[in-house]
Amino acid sequence: MMRAGTKRRVGLFLRWLILGVVIGAAWGAVAGFAFLGVGGLLYGALSGAISAILLAVIGGAEIFLPPTRLGYALERAPFLVTSAVKWLVYSAVILLVIGSRVARRLAAPVLSRELAQALDQQIVDMPPMPSIAFWLVVTSAFIVVLQTSRLIGDRTLRDVVLGRYHRSRSEERFFLFVDIAGSTPLAERIGPDAVHRFLGEVFRLASDPIDDHHGEVFQYVGDEIVITWTVAEGRDAARPVACFFAIQQALERAAPDFEREFGAVPRLRAALHAGPVITGEVGGSRRAIVYHGDVMNTTSRIEQATRDLERQFLVSSDALERLDAADAYTLEDLGLQRLRGRAAAVRVYAVAAKQ
């Protein structure tokens, strides 16, 4: 059975492939008409679509390579080194595919014999440079979009581009705070550089479970990840709860590597709360989407209560009542709890995976 992360990447690759084929066919039709006239429309469209399929190896590398050892090594290299390696390899692929005219040869059979004979020399004479330049530009745009989405998040990029939050709006959201327990004494023992690498690896391993469960990283705060969902996105299959346990499982699988490199394994504490927030875009030269409301503060207070109540994962009743299939987990009602800095008590539940 295909893992969730692989399934998500396959879906992303197919979407980019379809978009590439559409763009390639449109470009090919324009180029075919420009160089061959009306008779070259179909030939050009098919040639452009085939080129897009052959060049899909570039998109595949950007989507499937990052989780591998080679991809991780590339990402840890200096940005200029990583960029230079990618551009050299991708440019070579484009030159090979377009310069070899393989797409044109594969597309040629769609022409009638008479049209092929009439256009034969023109097809041979069609200069490859416009197509090479076009695919270099398309590939550049693809990589820029993908890298930007990795930097600020897919949904944030989409929302900024579409201007979804130019005007603030009220939303109901889940917030999941995941804290790496014991990071302060760990830093004292292994030093700030090593603990930075420790946290970086934890956050990297957490990214796939977050994406698999449709979560969005709002921010990293020290040794804590703040993850959010709209209630509509998070309700199904109790995604925020499932996300936390998926992160925990990913870290458990990597425990031997952590023990070998750092002499310690990550331990998590977490809190989940939900409620209304005001969501809006702020900033000038650097814009960001932020959330205002009591939900964020309350979630932080619930996370702090995990220490007092000696529980790993606490979920408020406000979050539970907005979740579907929460009964798939073991719930322990801890009653109303007075949280620091908050006047009203909050009913919380300790949540554990069923054995």
Residues near 168 by beta carbon (within 8 Å), at least 6 away in sequence: 278, 279, 280, 281
pLDDT tens, residue by residue, 109-166: 665 555 555 555 555 555 677 778 888 888 878 777 777 776 666 777 777 777 777 7
The band of 246, judged by pLDDT with boundaries at 50, 70 and 90, is: very high
Could you give the dihedral angle defined by the CA atoms of residues 37, 40, 44 and 47, in that order, rounded to the nearest 10 degrees? -150
Token pair, residue 330, equals 């073991």
pLDDT tens, residue by residue, 160-210: 777 777 788 899 999 999 999 988 888 888 898 899 999 999 998 999 899
DSSP structure class, residue 212 = H
pLDDT tens, residue by residue, 4-16: 777 888 888 898 8
Q: Which of 327, 313, 337 is nearest to 177 (CA)?
A: 313
Beta bridge partners of 281: 289
Helix, strand, or coil (residue 118): helix
DSSP codes, 175-207: EEEEEEETHHHHHHHH-HHHHHHHHHHHHHHHH
Please, what sign has the CA dihedral across residues 160, 150, 95, 47? Answer: negative
pLDDT tens, residue by residue, 40-59: 787 778 888 888 888 888 88
Evaluate whether 103 touches 50 at the Cβ level (below 8 Å): yes
pTM value is 0.76
pLDDT of residue 122: 52
Residues near 313 by beta carbon (within 8 Å), at least 6 away in sequence: 244, 268, 269, 270, 271, 272, 306, 350, 351, 352
Residue that has been written with the tokens 């470009």 in this structure: 27
For residue 204, what are the CA distances in angstroms to 69, 72, 208, 304? Answer: 13, 10, 8, 24
pLDDT tens, residue by residue, 94-104: 888 887 777 76
R_g over Cα of the chain: 26
Question: How many helical (H) and strand (E) elements, i.e. helices and strands, does the chain have?
Answer: 16, 8
Can you tell me the distance from the alpha carbon of 326 to that of 236, in angstroms, rounded to the nearest whole number? 10
Can you tell me the distance from the alpha carbon of 238 to that of 213, in angstroms, rounded to the nearest whole number? 9
Where are the domains positioned within the chain?
4-152, 155-353
Strands (E), 70-223: 169-181, 216-221
Token pair, residue 51, equals 């080129």
Token pair, residue 285, equals 């030269």
- Phi-psi domain of 232 (left: phi exceeds 0; alpha: psi -120 through 50; beta: other): alpha
Evaluate whether 27 touches 47 at the Cβ level (below 8 Å): no
More confident residue, 62 or 257: 257
Residues near 102 by beta carbon (within 8 Å), at least 6 away in sequence: 50, 54
Can you tell me the distance from the alpha carbon of 58 to that of 61, in angstroms, rounded to the nearest whole number? 5
Give the chain's largest Cα–Cα span: 85
Q: 182 — phi, psi (to 5°)?
A: 75, 15
Evaluate whether 97 touches 51 at the Cβ level (below 8 Å): yes
Beta bridge partners of 175: 228, 273
Residue that has been written with the tokens 């692929």 in this structure: 93
* The residue type at 222: G
Which CATH architecture fits 155-353?
Answer: 2-Layer Sandwich (3.30)
Q: At what angle do helices 129-152 and 41-54 cross, to 10 degrees?
A: 50
